Amino acid sequence: MKKIDIEIIVGIFIFLGLVCMAYVSIKLGQVEFLDTDYYSIKATFTSVTGLKTDTNIEISGIKVGKVKDIYLKDYQAVVTMLIKKDIKIQDDAIASIRTKGILGEQYIEILPGGSDIILEPGDTLFDTEPTFDLLSVIKKFTIKNGSK
């Protein structure tokens, strides 16, 4: 074989290896390039301590979306959520920030409502429950018991 033939074979092998690595990275990282299968709704919380973008949104333990954006408006945290298009959220549903385990990762749980009115893209979910701040409860408990 000529030197050029070996270089072409090596080049093709390296190219295929890079394509395979990119495919595995995308699959393992659950990267979604287009958000066309989702619609966005918003929810306003008094506190989103520890919540991050790309956090899962779940209904009954099933992932139905992810957090797209978090920003401050009128001293309230506004969370933009991307929900799968086939999932319908009622206007009286409740969005709660939960933690998996005692110190696990946070996620938003949506408790479905009973209303016939379905939220449209861009609508806001008004019934929310902020995250439970375990550290502040422990701090209050230790200060209260320490002052006796």
Closest among 79, 90, 91, 75 to 44, alpha carbons compared: 79
What per-residue confidence (pLDDT) applies to 63?
93
What's the confidence (pLDDT) of residue 27?
Answer: 73
pLDDT at 51: 87
The domain limits of the chain are 1-31, 38-132
* Percent of the chain at pLDDT exceeding 90: 43
Contacts (Cβ under 8 Å, ≥6 apart) of 59: 87, 109, 110, 111, 112
User: Which pLDDT value is given to residue 146?
Assistant: 59
Which pLDDT score is estimated for 126? 85
- Give the pTM: 0.68
Query: How far apart are the C-alpha atoms of 66 and 56, rounded to whole Å?
Result: 5
pLDDT surpasses 60 at 98: yes
**Mean pLDDT for all residues in the chain:** 84
